[in-house]
Structure 1
Amino acid sequence: MYSRLITPARIHPWGDEDLLEATEQDRARIVQAAPVRRLQQKTQVFPLDVKASVRSRLTHSLEVQETGRQISRRILAALPPGEVCEGAFINLVEMSCLLHDVGNPPFGHFGEQVMSQWLGDMLDPLYQQALAQPPSPQWAELRQDLQLFDGNAQSLRLVHSLHELNLTLGQLAALCKYPQQPQPGVSYGQHHGWSSKRGIFFSEQPLYRALGQSLGLAPGCRHPLVYIMEAADDISYCIADLEDAVDRRILTLGELLAALRGADQSDYMSTLLDDALASSRGFFPHFRQLLTRDLVALAAQSYVSEHGAILQGSYPQALLHGQAPAARVLDILKRVARELVFLRPEVEALELEGYAALRGVLSSYACLLALPAPQFARLLAGEGSQALFFARRLYHRLSARHLKAYRLAIATPDPRFACQHEQEWYYRVRLLLDYVSGMTDTYVLEEYRLLSGI
């Protein structure tokens, strides 16, 4: 089964690589990719923070990569010898971990909410300005796809459609945390787990279908290595967010300990906290080591025990789902972070600054979306008239890479679109979202100040 799921094949063939060589080539392409470098200027919890010890998205992703490697090695030790190429397995897991946040916009999940809110407010009026005609019946689907901006879906678009890394098929599929496509009007309960979340844009659906057909994945099913990446992320960020909050004095260690002891009086929690407090290395290094050890073992055990369903991509829950003591502590850490960190005035003040900057930049560039297609085509051809003097200057700030992807997407009619004019406008909106979501926290603030004359 793994021989089909982990393969040297690529969308665009690249020589006669063997499997290990192909995944090593993936590693080189990913590590050297510009979107990975940009992660160093995107903060994990505290936007616009300049303190060196606070985690950036890049340092967080490196921690996730290492945790993913540890889980992988435990899994491989439990699988029958020769079932899978171990080096390729570990390479794919490590690189999916390194890339797991690469599609996040400025200000992370808060930025996703800001972009979705702005799109919800502006898509319909901008559509009417640009197209000046009633929308097709398909527009409701396209509108929802554009409005619900998701960093996971953007990751696949970024590495394949925009940066054209031409990764192996298994590596691309291992990035897709939420391959399911929820339908409008359908209510999904918590028992659906990851399958209730959307994670593939309309623009990348043909790519994901091709991946599924080549790798033998049923529609809406995960690649098995996604489960490992998800577990590694959960393990890493839950501990790190609280450590950064204490380091930044958002809360004290005493407040954290009181919250943890109050939430769980079990022997496991007490032993974990007491051992960490007694360590000469300091509380967080020892706490992280002890809890990570147990969570890594639990994730690997879950993967092996549910191996059949995971290989099919149909296992409905996360590897760390359940009532094991370590899993309960992980859930408590998430809840404590929400209650004691993310709702603090200091954190919300930083987010308000990000809110103003992100909405301001989107609103400034909205004039490019309001243009009728013939006028935008004149900008593409370098023929902007005096009436387009402001739009032309904004257009010149767009990335050449993003413009190339836009031109390619509209070059030929796509039969999936009911109207060709909606195809053009859909990808023009994607062009703006690609550009803005790729900005770092500091760059979007600088761009806002520039466009606002501040």
Structure 2
Amino acid sequence: MTKLSWNKLLTTGRIGTNSDEDARNAFQRDFDRIIFSSAFKRLQSKTQVFPLPEADFIHTRMTHSLEAGCVGRSLGYLVWKKLNENAIDIGSSTWTDFEGAVSAACLCHDIGNPPFGHSGETAIAEYFLKHRTDFMSLEGITDDNFKDFLYFDGNAMGFNILTHTLVNRSSRPGGMGLTAGVIAAFIKYPWFSSEAPLKKGKFSCFRNDEIYFKDAMTSCGLAEESKILRHPLSFLVEASDDICYKIMDLEDAYRLGIIPFFQLEELFMSTIGTSSSPSNYRLIIDEKEKAAYLRAKTISVLIDQLSDCFIENYNEIMDGTYSKALTSVIPCSDALSVIQKIEIDKVYSFRKVIEIETAGFEVIHGLLEVFIDAILNNSHRSKKIRKLIPASYMYSDDERIDRYMDILYIIRYIAGMTDKFAIETFRTMRGITLPSY
């Protein structure tokens, strides 16, 4: 195949309708649209790893996303710089295009994640697996589109949030109206749920959003007859996320007393190697400041290695044959694997994490049961519950398309909840607590 073109990959054409330009470039406008959106603001009260943190220094989905955006910006710029240094043709694309597109895609990479972290995704999928027989008899539910629920993925929910305008909210199509370049860079798994069983259960687009998926990928020159290619910058978005969650989860674990400082120091030093400055490090007295210094140095080393890795694998990335995560092939990949193993053994298995994630299963299952039952039935109770669902997430009887869309909207409503709001709603629906009069 012909290699991908950067002029197409960084197209500024928008999903939905275009609008007049202003002083910002197209990708800066995307970044601003995302950061001012209500969906992004709700990430402040969504779990990263340590659910419902009481300490203000522990990461939420929002702080993780902001940090991933910063890393992505640096990584995008460094890749642009090294492409130029190697005299590689990037068309008319500028450094602001590269860093802007990557940082915007990083900023929204978790925007579709439900409450309670990744366990929330699993909870939604398991609910539909448990009740599969009941749903398959409903109007509009097919073996194909039911996989959207059966393999529920926050990536696909994120794509829906970015590109799909809710009913009764606006007649302007295209969701946030982001550029095709940023939308395509956001897509980590360029396939539908029908392929999820063969792809570790992962996918990035619901069947209902196929038109916008194909629009974005075609605009960027990524749509071939037999398959859809991955946007080259999506590898940088993935790498930015990998860096931030692996490094920052470790620092959070240290601050919560789950791992001792000497272990954090040893792990970060194994990544930094000779790039650290011993004289500067010795000047730092406070242990937490030492941890912050080591974390910053570690991220800097990883960004440099990842940009080199992108250049080294450039031809395969640009012809669509490259498939590995960049973090798995850089010189520090073994050190990152050690960090990840420790996080699996000590951090993600921390008792409080497991307890609240387990409770999250009950909350999400309970909310799905209550709200889906309300839209499928016409009992007195169901009518009352429907009045509690925002109009943006419900079709009127004359607008209704089918039950697939009804259920998808309820999932989007629940997935958009913060951890606290989900818990409060669950308690109210169950009669555990009552609102004050």
Flag whether TM exceeds 0.5 (same fold): yes
Residue 250 of structure 1 is matched in structure 2 by 258
Distance 1:232 1:51, change over 3 A: same
Residue 366 of structure 1 is matched in structure 2 by 372
> What is the alpha-carbon distance in structure 2 between the residues aligned to residue 22 and residue 406 of structure 1?
39
Question: Could you report, residue by residue, the CA deviation over 1:346-384 in whole angstroms, capped at 9, with x for unpaired residues?
Answer: 22112122222122212222313543xxx5xxxxxxxxx
Residue 39 of structure 1 is matched in structure 2 by 43
Unaligned 5+ segments in structure 1 are: 190-195, 376-387, 411-423
Q: Which of residues 106, 116, 120 is equivalent to 2:115?
A: 106
Q: Secondary structure at the match of 1:222?
A: coil
CA contact (8 A) 1:162 1:402 kept: no
Residue 328 of structure 2 is matched in structure 1 by 321
CA contact (8 A) 1:162 1:401 kept: no
**Alpha-carbon deviation of 1:85?**
2.3
Q: Secondary structure at the match of 1:199?
A: coil
Unaligned 5+ segments in structure 2 are: 167-174, 433-437
Q: CA RMSD in A?
A: 3.0
Question: Could you report, residue by residue, the CA deviation over 1:219-265 in whole angstroms, capped at 9, with x for unpaired residues?
Answer: 3311111111111111111011111122122333345568x59xxxx
Question: Could you report, residue by residue, the CA deviation over 1:3-39 in whole angstroms, capped at 9, with x for unpaired residues?
Answer: 1111221233424548963223222221211111001
Structure 1 residues 72-81 or 235-244, which shifts more?
Answer: 72-81
Residue 59 of structure 1 is matched in structure 2 by 63
Q: Which of residues 307, 331, 334 is equivalent to 2:340?
A: 334
> What is the alpha-carbon distance in structure 1 between the residues aligned to residue 117 and residue 272 of structure 2?
30
Distance 1:322 1:426, change over 3 A: same
Question: Could you report, residue by residue, the CA deviation over 1:76-120 in whole angstroms, capped at 9, with x for unpaired residues?
Answer: 111237731221222111111110110000011111111111111
CA contact (8 A) 1:61 1:99 kept: yes
Residue 94 of structure 2 is matched in structure 1 by 85
Structure richer in helix, relative to its length: 1
Q: Which of residues 198, 203, 207 is equivalent to 1:198?
A: 203
Q: Secondary structure at the match of 2:164?
A: helix
Q: Which of residues 363, 381, 384 is equivalent to 1:393?
A: 384
Residue 414 of structure 1 is matched in structure 2 by none
**Alpha-carbon deviation of 1:153?**
0.9
Q: Which of residues 434, 437, 441 is equivalent to 2:412?
A: 434
What are the residue-to-residue correspondences of 1:14-163 with 2, within 5 Å? 14-15=18-19, 17=21, 21-80=25-84, 83=91, 84-128=93-137, 130=138, 139-162=142-165
Amino acid at match of 1:211: A
Q: Secondary structure at the match of 2:25?
A: helix
Q: Secondary structure at the match of 2:40?
A: helix
> What is the alpha-carbon distance in structure 2 between the residues aligned to residue 21 and residue 270 of structure 1?
38
> What is the alpha-carbon distance in structure 1 between the residues aligned to residue 243 and residue 270 of structure 2?
21
CA contact (8 A) 1:43 1:56 kept: yes
> What is the alpha-carbon distance in structure 2 between the residues aligned to residue 44 and residue 185 of structure 1?
24
1:301 equivalent to 2:308? Answer yes
Amino acid at match of 1:210: D
**Alpha-carbon deviation of 1:188?**
5.5
**Alpha-carbon deviation of 1:407?**
8.0
CA contact (8 A) 1:69 1:93 kept: yes
Distance 1:100 1:11, change over 3 A: closer
Amino acid at match of 1:451: M
Structure 1 residues 248-257 or 25-34, which shifts more?
Answer: 248-257
Question: Could you report, residue by residue, the CA deviation over 1:131-167 in whole angstroms, capped at 9, with x for unpaired residues?
Answer: 5xxxx9x822222222111011111100111461111
Distance 1:99 1:342, change over 3 A: same
Q: Which of residues 422, 425, 434 is equivalent to 1:444?
A: 422
Distance 1:89 1:51, change over 3 A: same
Q: Which of residues 318, 338, 349 is equivalent to 1:311?
A: 318
CA contact (8 A) 1:65 1:95 kept: yes
Question: Could you report, residue by residue, the CA deviation over 1:253-309 in whole angstroms, capped at 9, with x for unpaired residues?
Answer: 345568x59xxxx97677689969856163321221221111101111111222233
Amino acid at match of 1:294: V
Distance 1:113 1:98, change over 3 A: same
CA contact (8 A) 2:196 2:203 kept: no
Q: Secondary structure at the match of 1:316?
A: coil
Residue 170 of structure 2 is matched in structure 1 by none
Q: Secondary structure at the match of 2:186?
A: coil
CA contact (8 A) 1:272 1:287 kept: no
- Number of matched pairs: 408
Amino acid at match of 2:244: S
Amino acid at match of 1:390: R
Structure 1 residues 89-98 or 213-222, which shifts more?
Answer: 213-222
> What is the alpha-carbon distance in structure 2 between the residues aligned to residue 56 and residue 95 of structure 1?
18
Q: Secondary structure at the match of 1:296?
A: helix
> What is the alpha-carbon distance in structure 1 between the residues aligned to residue 100 and residue 383 of structure 2?
44
> What is the alpha-carbon distance in structure 2 between the residues aligned to residue 270 and residue 75 of structure 1?
22
CA contact (8 A) 2:28 2:104 kept: no
